[in-house]
Amino acid sequence: MISQPSYPRAPIDQAGLAQALMPFGQSRMLPPGAYTDPAVFDWEQRCFFGGGWLCVAHSSQVAKPGDQRAEHIGQGSVLLVRDDDGVLRAFANFCRHRGHELLPCGSTAQRNTIICPYHSWTYSLSGGLRFASGFKGRAGFDQSSWGLVELPVAEWHGLVFVDGVDSVLGADSAGLEAPSAGFSAVLAAPVELPRKSVAYQPEPLSWKPAAVTCLT
Ligand code: FES
């Protein structure tokens, strides 16, 4: 059984939500606040996009050792890195020195280290701190304690999933295997996602009307 973190209730008109959840033919659209209320957006960023496994990229976008890519996840961002051994890693996208963003969201890099643009603290592709300007030989500074914060990551049928739940809610992350089990049989043979590549980069849009349109 998968342990699920408990989320606060969405700040949305509950009567309107109940109408939206009625059986097909009786249901109504979500209440207006679901599309326009900043408090709902904030809740979604914390609990929906930052509180569990989220698809953030295609494996082909971080295919080679040294490939790096930053993506939004909830209210923060994640740095995807293919390390020297070909293992995909995900790190909270901030430096352990002063917390500067390591790579702007949506951008990529290809190099054999991870370098913070602020004071050039330098990390290995597996997240260990290699060089900390101004701290060399400083008494009490244990370099091995200042590696990047690693997040759970999994590749599944050519898609990259990251679980930001640890960073957002302090809860334990359940593995991706159980939630994805039901889909594997459907996707594995006919779709062959690992062979696909990304040919289209969508423009920013409101995901909710698009989802409603596809599901109704
Ligand atoms: S904040 Fe990254 S090196 Fe200073």
Query: What is the residue with the minimal CA distance to atom 1 of ligand 1?
Result: 98
- Closest to 62 in 3D by CA, of 178, 208, 200, 161: 161
Amino acid at 25: G
89 vs 150: CA distance, rounded Å: 7
Centre of ligand 1 to C-alpha 84, Å, is 23
Q: Compute CA 202 distance to the chain's CA centroid, rounded to the nearest angstrom.
A: 17
How far apart (Å, rounded) are the C-alpha atoms in residues 174 and 152?
Answer: 9
Q: Where are the domains of the chain?
A: 53-195
The structure's pTM equals: 0.75
97 pocket-lining for ligand 1 (C-beta < 6 Å): yes
Q: Which atom of ligand 1 is nearest to the CA of 99?
A: 1
Q: Spelled out in words, what is the top-level CATH class assigned to the domain 53-195?
A: mainly beta
Residue whose CA is at the smallest distance from ligand 1 atom 4: 119
Is residue 77 within a helix (H) or strand (E), and if so which, with residue range?
A: strand 76-82
Residue for token pair 């302090």: 170
Task: Find out whether the beta carbon of 146 lies less than 6 Å from any atom of ligand 1.
Answer: no
Kindly state if the Cβ of 98 falls inside 6 Å of ligand 1. yes
pLDDT (tens place) for every residue of the chain, 216 residues total = 344 556 788 899 999 989 989 998 898 888 989 889 999 888 888 777 776 788 899 999 999 999 999 998 887 899 999 999 999 999 999 999 999 999 999 999 999 999 999 999 999 999 999 999 888 888 999 999 999 999 999 998 889 999 876 444 444 455 666 555 555 655 555 455 555 566 666 666 777 777 777 666
Give which of 53, 120, 116, 125 is closest to 82, Cα–Cα: 125
Which atom of ligand 1 is closest in space to residue 132's alpha carbon? 3
